[in-house]
C-alpha cells in the first residue's frame, strides 16, 4: 500500500540500523532500482544458524534461477517501478528474496554491521527457517522434480552393468549365477526404470508448475 517513489521495508524490531537508510537513498538517487542492505558478517548469529544459512544460499544459487544475494534480508530500498513490477506477479506463495531478485533492474549493495538484539527473541525458529528454505527452492527451481531422472539413470545403469558382468562371468568363466545377486539386479534395474518414469512425470509437472505461476515473460524498464 506504500505510495512513495521509493520504498524501504525494515523489520519492526529495528535490529537493522536506520542510519543505513540515507546510504540506500543515495544509491537510489544515483540510478539504482534496487539497493540491498547486506550484512557484512553474521557474528551476532549462532554457529548453527550461520552454517545453515551458508548452505542454503549455496544450494539455492546452484539449482535455482535467479540467484539471490547472500546475507540480505528484507531490509532494502525498492524504486516505485520495481514495486509495480512485483505487483504484476499473480502467484500467492511469494518467496520474497527470490521475487525481488527475479524482477531485475539495476541493483546495488550497501554493507552494514547488524547490532545484537537487545530485547526479546526471534519468533522465526528452526522449523520456520526450514520451511522458508523449502519454499525458496521449490518456488524458483524444478530440480527437485528433475533429480529423480538422474537417480533412476544411475541406479538402472549400475544394475545393468552388474547384470552384464554376471552374464559374462558365467559364459566366459563358467561361474554359476547365484540367485540372490540376480534377484537384486532385477529389482534395482526395475526400480531405476521406475525412478526414470517418475522423473519424466516430474518434468511435465515442473512445466505445468511454471505455467500456472503465469509470471510475465519480460519486464521492460521504462525510459
Reported as a single tens digit per residue, the pLDDT across 88-128 is 888 888 888 889 888 888 999 999 988 777 666 777 778 88
The pLDDT, as a whole number, for residue 120 is 65
Say whether pLDDT at 179 is over 90: no
With cut-offs at 50, 70 and 90, classify the pLDDT of residue 48.
confident
* Rounded CA separation 58/128 (Å): 19
* Helix residue spans in the chain (DSSP H): 21-29, 47-63, 80-86, 96-102, 126-140, 143-173, 179-213
Cβ 199 vs Cβ 149: under 8 Å: yes
Q: Give the pLDDT score at 49.
A: 85
Query: Which residue has better confidence, 93 or 84?
Result: 84
Q: Which of 10-19, 89-98, 171-180 has the lowest mean pLDDT?
A: 171-180
The predicted structure's pLDDT at residue 79: 93
The pLDDT of residue 44 is above 80 = no
Give one word for 35, left, alpha or beta, with left for phi > 0 and alpha for psi -120 to 50.
beta
What percent of the chain has pLDDT above 90? 45
130-141 in b/e form (b: 16+ CB < 10 A) is eeebeebbbbbb
Mean pLDDT over 159-168 rounds to: 90
At residue 76, φ and ψ (nearest 5 deg) are: -170, 175
C-alpha distances out from residue 80 to 77, 156, 209, Å? 10, 53, 29
What pLDDT band is residue 12 in, cutting at 50, 70 and 90? confident
Confidence grade of residue 73 (pLDDT, cut at 50, 70, 90)? confident
Task: Return the pLDDT at 199.
Answer: 93
Task: Say what the pLDDT of residue 88 is.
Answer: 86
pLDDT reported for residue 223: 65
Q: What is the structure's pLDDT at 56?
A: 92
pLDDT in tens, 122-163: 777 788 888 988 999 999 999 999 999 999 999 999 999 999
In the predicted model, what is the mean pLDDT of the chain? 88
Name the band, by pLDDT with cuts 50, 70 and 90, for residue 218. confident
Specify the length of the chain in residues.
223
Amino acid at each position: 500500500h506504500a505510495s512513495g517513489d521509493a520504498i524501504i521495508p525494515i523489520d519492526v524490531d529495528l535490529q537493522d540500523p536506520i542510519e543505513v537508510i540515507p546510504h540506500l537513498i543515495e544509491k537510489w538517487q544515483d540510478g539504482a532500482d534496487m539497493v540491498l542492505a547486506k550484512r557484512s558478517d553474521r557474528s551476532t548469529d549462532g554457529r548453527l544458524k550461520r552454517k545453515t544459512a551458508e548452505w542454503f544460499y549455496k544450494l539455492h544459487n546452484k539449482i535455482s534461477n535467479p540467484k539471490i544475494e547472500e546475507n540480505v534480508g528484507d531490509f532494502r530500498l525498492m524504486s516505485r517501478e520495481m514495486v509495480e513490477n512485483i505487483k504484476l506477479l499473480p502467484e500467492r506463495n511469494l518467496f520474497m528474496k527470490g521475487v525481488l531478485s527475479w524482477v531485475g533492474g539495476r541493483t546495488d549493495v550497501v554493507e552494514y554491521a547488524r547490532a545484537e538484539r537487545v530485547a526479546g527473541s526471534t519468533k522465526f525458529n528452526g522449523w520456520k527457517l526450514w520451511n522458508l528454505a523449502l519454499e525458496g527452492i521449490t518456488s524458483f527451481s524444478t530440480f527437485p522434480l528433475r533429480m529423480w531422472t538422474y537417480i533412476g539413470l544411475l541406479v538402472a545403469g549400475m544394475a545393468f552393468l552388474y547384470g552384464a558382468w554376471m552374464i559374462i562371468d558365467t559364459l566366459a568363466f563358467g561361474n554359476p549365477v547365484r540367485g540372490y545377486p540376480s534377484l537384486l539386479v532385477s529389482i534395482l534395474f526395475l526400480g531405476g526404470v521406475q525412478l526414470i518414469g517418475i522423473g519424466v512425470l516430474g518434468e511435465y509437472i515442473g512445466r505445468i508448475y511454471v505455467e500456472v505461476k503465469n509470471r510475465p515473460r519480460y519486464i521492460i524498464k521504462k525510459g
